[in-house]
Amino acid sequence: MDSQHCKMNGDSFQESSYIEDSPSKNGVISLIFSLKEEVGALAKVLRTFEEKGINLTHIESRPSRLNKDEYEFFINLEGKNVPALDKIIKSLRSDIGATVHELSRSKKKDTVPWFPRSIQELDRFANQILSYGAELDADHPGFKDPVYRARRKEFADIAYNYRHGQPIPRVTYTEEEKKTWGTVFRELKSLYPTHACYEHNHVFPLLEKYCGYREDNIPQLEDISNFLQSCTGFRLRPVAGLLSSRDFLAGLAFRVFHSTQYIRHASKPMYTPEPDICHELLGHVPLFADPSFAQFSQEIGLASLGAPDDFIEKLATVYWFTVEFGLCKEGDSLKAYGAGLLSSFGELQYCLSDKPEIRPLVLEKTSVQEYCVTEFQPIYYVAESFKDAKEKLRKFAQTIPRPFSVRYNPYTQRIEVLDNAKQLKNLADTINSEIGILCNALQKIK
């Protein structure tokens, strides 16, 4: 596995190449490479591809955020001549001095898939959406509406141009969009006191007070992101559509939730074939302000980093039956905490009726359960508590075959790979310091 070594605070760490299957574009390989800003540098690279008979189907560029004198290039190319491509990548790295990252290719046996090490690296895949964005399927309610399609492109452009560290651009929503939001907001809010979990109902009034949650107003992602950071360190990032499971879960490892800004079509305010801002803000956001749920969500993300594809599928299924469609116990009753339930007027009532099958959350079984994306779920899984769900997830994560463990460092906003004695010593020192604070605090409250 190709890797590059970097230095930070005097310590050496490795960044591995990103090698991932592309489920949406068969036979297409994507690369990101950076070049020094010199006359003819890009032409030399493109000539190399041409000489080897490899066709480029897409190319875009941007100034490098890491090195001011470099540009980064994203390209799609046909994957017919893989042996020649291997030679080109080696040539780019050794002869031209380019930094190359593969963004889609079938993995070699025993290769650990690339994963982001720093929060800035989420920029690399945030625009690699699988569906929707500015393009709509023929059965989408807004497919034949040119005004809606143009509006979706505006939202997609915001997401495509966003980079980590920037404030999330504010959107002036139309009266029609606010009317759609108001319909959904009013109907769902009437159910929350009796159907939503305690954590959701505890946070929702705070969102109304501090983030502009109202029937006549669609809140801004920037305001909500700042609120979440003050509660649990979670933040929002605009996205144009659906990401792959691997990419989406990787964001959670950094306590970053990729959120849409567009809203469903006005013709069907109680239906959407895709996540929209009603789903994100009414379903997901309240729970991300709860410390226990935020940690559970992050641990799903951490478990996904470097995991094989079959475990990514299992973790995505766990996410589906918990974060999206989970139920939890509150005393002798069941309540909803999954965002897919909390943002669906119909399914929020259905899930607590006597119609679906209710099962205890056992991740070994939950992770392989098939599910439906177009109808109400026939099966829901019940967590005893978020604490119990976290413990089960930690045990499940231990079964993932990867040659290291990971932890998130909130001070540097980096993923630390625990695969050597020095890393383990640093972790032990950190834990020892925290235990010292705990012991000191316990003595003072006796």
Please enumerate in sequence order all residues whose Cβ is within 8 A of that of 133, keeping only pairs 6 or more positions apart, or say none. 152, 156, 159, 240, 241
Q: Which of 104, 245, 297, 343 is catalytic?
A: 343
Active site residue 208: no
Q: Are 232 and 290 in contact (CB under 8 A)?
A: yes
Catalytic residue (choose from 279, 297, 344, 416):
279
Q: How far apart are CA 436 and CA 307, in angstroms?
A: 34
Catalytic annotation, pick one of 17, 104, 284, 405: 284
Q: For residue 3, what are the β-bridge partners?
A: 16
Please tell me which residue in 324, 344, 367, 405 is annotated as part of the active site: 324
Which of 289, 294, 134 is CA-nearest to residue 213?
A: 289
> For residue 114, how far is the Cα from the chain centroid?
15
Backbone angles phi, psi at 216, to 5 degrees: -100, 15
CA separation for the pair 262, 272 (Å, rounded): 11
CA–CA dist 112, 308 (Å, integer): 7
207: which 2 tokens?
A: 């969102």
Q: Measured between alpha carbons, how far is 426 from 405 in angstroms, rounded to an integer?
A: 14
Q: 395: how many CB neighbours lie within 10 A of its CB?
A: 11
Measured between alpha carbons, how far is 132 from 144 in angstroms, rounded to an integer? 14
Active site residue 279: yes
Q: Is 343 a catalytic residue?
A: yes
Sheet holding 327-330, edge to edge: 333-336, 327-330, 379-383, 357-360
Amino acid letter for position 191: L
Output phi, psi for 369, to 5 deg. -75, 130
What are the φ and ψ backbone dihedral angles of 383, each rounded to 5 degrees? Answer: -95, 140
Q: Residue 403: CB partners within 8 Å, gap ≥ 6?
A: 112, 419
Is 324 among the residues known to form the active site?
yes
Contact by Cβ (8 Å): 30, 40: no
CA distance 234 to 229: 5
CA dist list (Å): 250 to 138, 234, 442: 30, 13, 36
Rg of the chain (C-alpha set): 23
Hey, what are 444's tokens? 């003072």
DSSP reduced 3-state for 77: strand
Active site residues: 279, 284, 324, 343
